[in-house]
């Protein structure tokens, strides 16, 4: 009788142990796939991409000149790599839709920015420049958007990544 009780007790203990192991495995699986864990993994992947990113110039001006050169060569993929990492894919898709006229307009816009006033503060470079609107509209994606004639202040912003390369934040 004592042998049966011991065998039963050991069996029950073994089953309980297996149950705890299975519950632990399920909990670990759920934690690994939880939204929080997914966000943490995405943040770590983004951090690694940012630290691995070597595209860009050592000055804000050099980055914009590299961007212009890539556009002039028609290397839109390279041009998109001069943007900050989180924006690169979006900019790659956007640039792929540009017409030759839009690429020329973008080059002209960046050249005007390069002639503007540059201010650098806490790793952010901002080019301030004036755009004179004469025709009463701006054209974006072959759509004419009416605007009043006159001067408007524009900006181009770049940020410095951990590799000390300047990346486009906003054109």
Q: What are the pLDDT digits (tens) for 141-155?
A: 678 778 788 788 899
Measured CA to CA, the distance from residue 96 to residue 104 in angstroms comes to 14
Strand partners, 145: 138
120: Cβ–Cβ under 8 A, 6 or more apart, which residues? 60, 126
Q: Is residue 6 part of a domain?
A: no
Q: Report the predicted TM-score, pTM, of the whole model to 2 decimal places.
A: 0.72
The domain that holds 98 is classified in CATH as 3.10.450
Q: How large is the C-alpha radius of gyration of the chain?
A: 28
Domain interval for residue 98: 50-170
Condensed to tens digits (0 to 9), the pLDDT of residues 110-160 reads 999 999 999 999 999 999 999 877 776 766 767 877 878 878 889 999 999
Element (H or E) spanning 12, and its range? helix 2-32
Structural domains in the chain (count) = 1
What are the Cα distances from residue 2, in Å, to 5, 8, 99, 142?
A: 5, 10, 88, 90
């Amino acid at each position: 009788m004592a042998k049966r009780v011991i065998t039963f007790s050991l069996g029950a203990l073994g089953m309980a142990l297996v149950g705890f192991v299975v519950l632990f495995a399920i909990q670990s699986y759920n934690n690994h796939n939880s939204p929080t864990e997914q966000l943490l993994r995405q943040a770590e992947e983004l951090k690694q991409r940012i630290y691995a990113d070597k595209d860009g110039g050592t000055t804000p001006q050099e980055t914009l000149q590299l961007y212009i050169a890539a556009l002039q060569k028609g290397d839109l993929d390279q041009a998109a790599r001069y943007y900050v990492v989180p924006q690169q894919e979006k900019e790659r898709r956007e640039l792929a839709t540009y017409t030759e006229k839009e690429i020329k307009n973008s080059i002209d816009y960046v050249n005007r920015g390069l002639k503007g006033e540059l201010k650098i503060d806490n790793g952010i470079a901002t080019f301030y420049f004036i755009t004179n609107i004469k025709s009463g509209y701006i054209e974006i994606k072959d759509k004419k958007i009416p605007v009043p004639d006159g001067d408007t202040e524009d900006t181009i912003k770049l940020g410095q990544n951990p590799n000390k390369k300047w990346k486009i934040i906003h054109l």
